[in-house]
Amino acid sequence: MLLHIGNGHLIPTKDVVMIADYKSSMSSKDTQNFLKIANEEGFVKDYSEGSPKSFIVTNETIYLSLISSATLAKRINFINQLK
């Protein structure tokens, strides 16, 4: 199944490792460093139009999304109920 993360982008739900709220996560220096290094190394794809509300960690990529983590979690739960 696929998860819509905004701006017409879909990712396979089987690849999702974590969905996190961007604002609250950025209060942690460790998260800031993690995302900074991942971005420098080319692992971050920004689909948030410059205003990320959440980030999604997958096996190979970190996606910044303009959709809230709560909404993405609801979508994942709905998809899992369909299985």
pLDDT one-digit tens code per residue, 18-64: 999 999 999 999 999 999 999 999 999 999 999 999 999 999 999 99
| Band of residue 83 on the pLDDT scale cut at 50, 70, 90 | low
CA distance 75 to 28: 26
The domain segmentation of the chain, as residue ranges, is: 2-73
Query: Is 80 exceeded by the pLDDT of residue 82?
Result: no
Burial readout 12-24 (b: 16 or more C-beta within 10 A, e: otherwise): eeeebeebbbbee
